[in-house]
Amino acid sequence: MKQAELDFTHHHENSRENLISYQQQKKRLSKNTEILVLCMKEGQRLTGLDIMRGIKHKGMSEPVIMTEYRRRFKEAIDAGIDIKTERHSNGSKTWYIDR
C-alpha cells in the first residue's frame, strides 16, 4: 500500500476576495511585528498582558491591541532580531531587546 503525499504549502486562494483578504492580513501581521520591535527598541519590556491591553511606540497616537503576540515574537526572532526573554516564577514572560 502506498502512502498518500500531502502538500500543505499555500499556493493560492480560491477567490479574488479571499486573495485580497489574505494579502491584507499578511501585511497587517507584519505591521504588528514591527510595532512590537519598535516598542522594545525604545526600551519597553513587554508582557503578554501589556500587549493584550494595548502597546504603542513614540510615533503612534493610539495603542494597538494584539492577541496573537507569540507569533509576532517568533516572526521577529526568525527575522534575526535578538529578543531576550525573562521567565517569571508564575510562568509569565517578559520580552525585551538589550539596548
The vertex-15 CA angle with 11 and 18, nearest 5°, equals 80
The pTM score is: 0.68
Output the tens digit of pLDDT for each of the chain's 99 residues.
677 675 555 556 567 887 777 666 655 547 889 899 899 999 999 999 999 999 999 989 999 999 999 999 998 888 778 999 999 999 999 999 987
Q: Are residues 70 and 89 in contact, defined by beta-carbon separation less than 8 angstroms?
A: no
Alpha helices in the chain (DSSP H): 16-41, 48-53, 69-78
Q: How far, in Å, are 7, 8, 24 from residue 3 at the CA level?
A: 13, 16, 37
CA distance 37 to 73: 8
User: Residue 74 has which C-alpha cell?
Assistant: 517568533
